Amino acid sequence: MRKTRYSSSKFIFVLLLLLFFIGLFVSGILQSEQRREAAFPKSGFVTAVYDGDTIKVRFNSGYERKVRLIGINAPETHDLRKEVKFHAYMAKRFTFYYLYNRKVNLTYDWELEDKYGRLLAYIWTEREGLFNEFILKEGFASVFLKFAFKYKKEFKKAEEEAQRLGRGFWKKDPFPSIRADEARNNVGKLVSVKYTCSGVQNRGKFVFLVSSGEEFSALVPQENLFLFSGLELLRGNFISVTGFLEEYKGKLQIMVFFPLQIKLIRRKP
Protein backbone atom coordinates (compact mmCIF):
# COMPACT_ATOMS: atom_id res chain seq x y z
CA MET A 1 0.00 0.00 0.00
CA ARG A 2 2.82 2.39 0.91
CA LYS A 3 4.55 1.70 -2.40
CA THR A 4 1.35 2.46 -4.33
CA ARG A 5 0.96 5.84 -2.58
CA TYR A 6 4.61 6.63 -3.35
CA SER A 7 4.13 5.74 -7.02
CA SER A 8 1.01 7.93 -7.21
CA SER A 9 2.82 10.88 -5.64
CA LYS A 10 5.73 10.44 -8.01
CA PHE A 11 3.35 10.34 -10.98
CA ILE A 12 1.59 13.54 -9.82
CA PHE A 13 4.94 15.28 -9.30
CA VAL A 14 6.14 14.33 -12.79
CA LEU A 15 2.80 15.43 -14.28
CA LEU A 16 2.94 18.81 -12.52
CA LEU A 17 6.53 19.26 -13.60
CA LEU A 18 5.56 18.46 -17.19
CA LEU A 19 2.66 20.90 -17.05
CA PHE A 20 5.00 23.54 -15.65
CA PHE A 21 7.43 23.18 -18.55
CA ILE A 22 4.57 23.12 -21.07
CA GLY A 23 3.34 26.37 -19.51
CA LEU A 24 6.79 27.90 -19.85
CA PHE A 25 6.96 26.78 -23.48
CA VAL A 26 3.53 28.20 -24.35
CA SER A 27 4.33 31.41 -22.49
CA GLY A 28 7.57 31.69 -24.45
CA ILE A 29 5.70 31.27 -27.74
CA LEU A 30 3.15 33.93 -26.76
CA GLN A 31 5.86 36.36 -25.71
CA SER A 32 7.74 35.67 -28.92
CA GLU A 33 4.59 36.38 -30.94
CA GLN A 34 4.01 39.58 -28.94
CA ARG A 35 7.58 40.71 -29.61
CA ARG A 36 7.16 39.86 -33.31
CA GLU A 37 3.88 41.76 -33.43
CA ALA A 38 5.56 44.79 -31.84
CA ALA A 39 8.53 44.65 -34.22
CA PHE A 40 6.52 43.75 -37.31
CA PRO A 41 3.05 45.32 -36.91
CA LYS A 42 0.16 44.52 -39.22
CA SER A 43 -1.13 48.05 -39.89
CA GLY A 44 -0.21 51.71 -39.74
CA PHE A 45 -0.27 55.08 -41.55
CA VAL A 46 2.10 56.10 -44.32
CA THR A 47 3.93 59.26 -43.21
CA ALA A 48 6.58 59.57 -45.94
CA VAL A 49 7.36 58.33 -49.45
CA TYR A 50 11.05 58.11 -50.35
CA ASP A 51 10.62 56.66 -53.82
CA GLY A 52 8.37 54.30 -55.72
CA ASP A 53 9.26 51.25 -53.62
CA THR A 54 10.17 52.68 -50.19
CA ILE A 55 7.89 54.38 -47.66
CA LYS A 56 7.73 55.19 -43.95
CA VAL A 57 4.92 53.80 -41.81
CA ARG A 58 3.83 55.00 -38.36
CA PHE A 59 2.35 52.20 -36.28
CA ASN A 60 -0.27 52.42 -33.55
CA SER A 61 2.47 52.56 -30.92
CA GLY A 62 3.75 55.78 -32.51
CA TYR A 63 6.90 54.03 -33.69
CA GLU A 64 7.92 54.65 -37.30
CA ARG A 65 9.94 52.49 -39.66
CA LYS A 66 11.09 52.54 -43.25
CA VAL A 67 9.36 49.87 -45.33
CA ARG A 68 10.69 48.42 -48.59
CA LEU A 69 7.96 46.92 -50.76
CA ILE A 70 8.62 43.26 -51.57
CA GLY A 71 8.71 42.04 -55.15
CA ILE A 72 9.12 45.35 -56.94
CA ASN A 73 11.82 47.78 -57.95
CA ALA A 74 11.37 51.43 -58.91
CA PRO A 75 14.00 53.68 -60.56
CA GLU A 76 16.34 55.66 -58.27
CA THR A 77 15.86 59.43 -57.98
CA HIS A 78 19.63 59.98 -57.73
CA ASP A 79 20.28 58.33 -61.10
CA LEU A 80 22.07 60.77 -63.43
CA ARG A 81 20.36 59.59 -66.62
CA LYS A 82 17.55 62.00 -67.53
CA GLU A 83 14.98 59.40 -68.58
CA VAL A 84 15.61 57.19 -65.54
CA LYS A 85 15.49 60.18 -63.21
CA PHE A 86 12.19 61.29 -64.74
CA HIS A 87 10.75 57.80 -64.31
CA ALA A 88 11.98 57.73 -60.71
CA TYR A 89 10.16 60.92 -59.81
CA MET A 90 6.99 59.75 -61.54
CA ALA A 91 7.12 56.44 -59.64
CA LYS A 92 7.54 58.40 -56.42
CA ARG A 93 4.50 60.55 -57.27
CA PHE A 94 2.51 57.41 -58.08
CA THR A 95 3.25 55.88 -54.67
CA PHE A 96 2.73 59.22 -52.91
CA TYR A 97 -0.63 59.73 -54.59
CA TYR A 98 -1.97 56.31 -53.62
CA LEU A 99 -0.35 55.74 -50.21
CA TYR A 100 0.63 58.97 -48.46
CA ASN A 101 -1.31 59.67 -45.26
CA ARG A 102 -3.41 56.55 -45.76
CA LYS A 103 -3.93 53.56 -43.53
CA VAL A 104 -2.26 50.42 -44.86
CA ASN A 105 -2.00 46.79 -43.79
CA LEU A 106 1.29 44.92 -43.89
CA THR A 107 2.04 41.24 -44.44
CA TYR A 108 5.45 39.62 -44.55
CA ASP A 109 7.44 36.93 -46.32
CA TRP A 110 10.38 34.68 -45.39
CA GLU A 111 12.79 37.63 -44.96
CA LEU A 112 11.61 40.35 -42.58
CA GLU A 113 14.34 42.97 -42.95
CA ASP A 114 16.97 43.89 -45.52
CA LYS A 115 20.61 44.75 -44.84
CA TYR A 116 19.67 48.42 -44.36
CA GLY A 117 17.29 47.59 -41.52
CA ARG A 118 14.15 48.32 -43.55
CA LEU A 119 11.05 46.21 -43.05
CA LEU A 120 10.24 44.06 -46.07
CA ALA A 121 6.50 43.97 -46.56
CA TYR A 122 3.52 43.57 -48.81
CA ILE A 123 1.34 46.69 -48.58
CA TRP A 124 -2.43 46.38 -48.74
CA THR A 125 -4.98 49.18 -49.14
CA GLU A 126 -8.74 49.05 -49.00
CA ARG A 127 -9.14 50.40 -52.54
CA GLU A 128 -6.19 48.98 -54.52
CA GLY A 129 -5.73 45.69 -52.64
CA LEU A 130 -2.12 44.48 -52.86
CA PHE A 131 -0.31 47.70 -53.76
CA ASN A 132 2.90 45.87 -54.75
CA GLU A 133 0.92 44.17 -57.53
CA PHE A 134 -1.04 47.32 -58.38
CA ILE A 135 2.04 49.47 -59.09
CA LEU A 136 3.42 46.71 -61.35
CA LYS A 137 0.13 46.46 -63.22
CA GLU A 138 0.09 50.22 -63.80
CA GLY A 139 3.68 50.16 -65.10
CA PHE A 140 5.45 52.33 -62.52
CA ALA A 141 7.78 49.62 -61.22
CA SER A 142 9.36 46.37 -62.40
CA VAL A 143 9.49 42.91 -60.84
CA PHE A 144 12.27 42.25 -58.30
CA LEU A 145 11.88 38.84 -56.67
CA LYS A 146 14.94 38.67 -54.41
CA PHE A 147 12.87 38.72 -51.19
CA ALA A 148 9.62 37.39 -52.61
CA PHE A 149 8.32 33.87 -52.08
CA LYS A 150 4.61 34.66 -52.24
CA TYR A 151 2.79 36.20 -55.21
CA LYS A 152 5.57 35.52 -57.74
CA LYS A 153 3.12 34.47 -60.44
CA GLU A 154 0.83 37.42 -59.76
CA PHE A 155 3.71 39.90 -59.96
CA LYS A 156 5.10 38.51 -63.21
CA LYS A 157 1.62 38.50 -64.74
CA ALA A 158 1.05 42.12 -63.64
CA GLU A 159 4.31 43.27 -65.23
CA GLU A 160 3.57 41.37 -68.46
CA GLU A 161 0.14 43.01 -68.62
CA ALA A 162 1.66 46.50 -68.18
CA GLN A 163 4.20 45.79 -70.91
CA ARG A 164 1.58 44.43 -73.30
CA LEU A 165 -0.77 47.37 -72.81
CA GLY A 166 1.97 50.00 -72.72
CA ARG A 167 1.12 51.34 -69.29
CA GLY A 168 3.31 53.70 -67.28
CA PHE A 169 6.99 53.47 -68.14
CA TRP A 170 6.36 50.72 -70.70
CA LYS A 171 4.79 53.35 -72.96
CA LYS A 172 7.60 55.01 -74.84
CA ASP A 173 7.63 58.77 -75.20
CA PRO A 174 5.59 60.51 -76.50
CA PHE A 175 2.97 59.76 -73.87
CA PRO A 176 -0.74 60.09 -74.66
CA SER A 177 -1.59 63.74 -75.36
CA ILE A 178 -4.86 65.11 -73.96
CA ARG A 179 -6.63 68.44 -73.50
CA ALA A 180 -7.11 69.94 -70.04
CA ASP A 181 -10.84 69.23 -70.19
CA GLU A 182 -10.04 65.52 -70.71
CA ALA A 183 -7.72 65.30 -67.70
CA ARG A 184 -10.26 63.99 -65.20
CA ASN A 185 -10.64 60.80 -67.23
CA ASN A 186 -6.89 60.15 -67.12
CA VAL A 187 -6.01 60.48 -63.43
CA GLY A 188 -3.27 58.05 -62.38
CA LYS A 189 -1.63 57.94 -65.81
CA LEU A 190 1.49 59.32 -67.48
CA VAL A 191 0.17 61.84 -69.99
CA SER A 192 0.91 65.15 -71.70
CA VAL A 193 -1.74 67.79 -70.99
CA LYS A 194 -2.13 70.57 -73.57
CA TYR A 195 -3.60 73.90 -72.44
CA THR A 196 -3.27 77.65 -72.55
CA CYS A 197 -1.32 78.86 -69.51
CA SER A 198 -3.59 81.62 -68.25
CA GLY A 199 -1.51 82.45 -65.19
CA VAL A 200 1.80 81.92 -63.40
CA GLN A 201 1.18 82.13 -59.67
CA ASN A 202 3.58 81.89 -56.74
CA ARG A 203 1.79 80.04 -53.94
CA GLY A 204 3.92 78.98 -51.00
CA LYS A 205 6.02 75.94 -51.87
CA PHE A 206 5.04 75.89 -55.55
CA VAL A 207 4.74 77.98 -58.68
CA PHE A 208 1.44 77.17 -60.43
CA LEU A 209 1.05 77.25 -64.20
CA VAL A 210 -2.74 77.33 -64.33
CA SER A 211 -5.23 76.78 -67.12
CA SER A 212 -8.29 78.89 -67.74
CA GLY A 213 -10.69 78.39 -64.85
CA GLU A 214 -7.87 76.59 -62.99
CA GLU A 215 -9.31 73.21 -64.00
CA PHE A 216 -5.73 72.02 -64.37
CA SER A 217 -2.34 73.21 -63.05
CA ALA A 218 1.31 72.29 -63.42
CA LEU A 219 3.15 72.69 -60.11
CA VAL A 220 6.86 73.54 -60.01
CA PRO A 221 8.39 73.11 -56.50
CA GLN A 222 10.20 76.22 -55.29
CA GLU A 223 13.26 74.11 -54.52
CA ASN A 224 13.49 73.20 -58.22
CA LEU A 225 13.09 76.72 -59.60
CA PHE A 226 16.83 77.07 -60.18
CA LEU A 227 16.45 74.54 -63.02
CA PHE A 228 13.90 76.71 -64.83
CA SER A 229 14.09 80.05 -66.56
CA GLY A 230 11.38 82.24 -68.01
CA LEU A 231 8.35 80.60 -66.42
CA GLU A 232 6.62 83.99 -66.43
CA LEU A 233 7.00 84.09 -70.21
CA LEU A 234 4.69 81.08 -70.50
CA ARG A 235 1.69 83.17 -69.51
CA GLY A 236 -0.83 83.26 -72.33
CA ASN A 237 1.01 80.62 -74.39
CA PHE A 238 -0.27 77.21 -75.45
CA ILE A 239 1.89 74.59 -73.71
CA SER A 240 2.16 70.87 -73.03
CA VAL A 241 3.03 69.46 -69.60
CA THR A 242 4.05 65.82 -69.24
CA GLY A 243 3.94 63.80 -66.03
CA PHE A 244 1.88 61.78 -63.59
CA LEU A 245 -1.64 63.17 -63.54
CA GLU A 246 -3.13 63.33 -60.06
CA GLU A 247 -6.04 64.92 -58.24
CA TYR A 248 -5.70 66.96 -55.06
CA LYS A 249 -8.73 68.43 -53.30
CA GLY A 250 -10.73 68.17 -56.50
CA LYS A 251 -8.04 69.93 -58.59
CA LEU A 252 -6.14 68.16 -61.35
CA GLN A 253 -2.38 68.62 -61.43
CA ILE A 254 1.01 67.40 -62.60
CA MET A 255 4.14 67.92 -60.52
CA VAL A 256 6.96 69.33 -62.67
CA PHE A 257 10.51 68.58 -61.55
CA PHE A 258 12.45 69.08 -64.79
CA PRO A 259 12.29 71.60 -67.67
CA LEU A 260 11.89 68.72 -70.15
CA GLN A 261 8.38 68.22 -68.78
CA ILE A 262 7.22 71.53 -70.27
CA LYS A 263 7.03 72.22 -73.99
CA LEU A 264 5.95 75.41 -75.70
CA ILE A 265 3.53 74.49 -78.50
CA ARG A 266 2.35 77.89 -79.69
CA ARG A 267 3.10 81.41 -78.60
CA LYS A 268 0.27 83.86 -77.99
CA PRO A 269 -0.50 86.08 -80.98
Q: Mention every residue, 6+ apart, whose C-beta is less than 8 A from residue 249.
A: none
Q: Please give the Cα distance from 205 to 80 (Å, whole number).
A: 25
CA atoms within 13 A of residue 45's CA, in its CB half-sphere: 7
Annotated catalytic residues are 68, 76, 118
Give me the sign of the Cα torsion angle 221, 225, 228, 234: positive
Nearest residue to 161 via CA among 134, 179, 183 = 134
Give me the sign of the Cα torsion angle 7, 13, 19, 25: negative
Query: Beta-carbon neighbour count of residue 201 at 10 Å?
Result: 13
Q: Please give the Cα distance from 99 to 79 (Å, whole number).
A: 23
Q: Please give the Cα distance from 27 to 35 (Å, whole number).
A: 12
Q: Please give the Cα distance from 64 to 146 (Å, whole number).
A: 24
CB 132 within 8 A of CB 69: yes
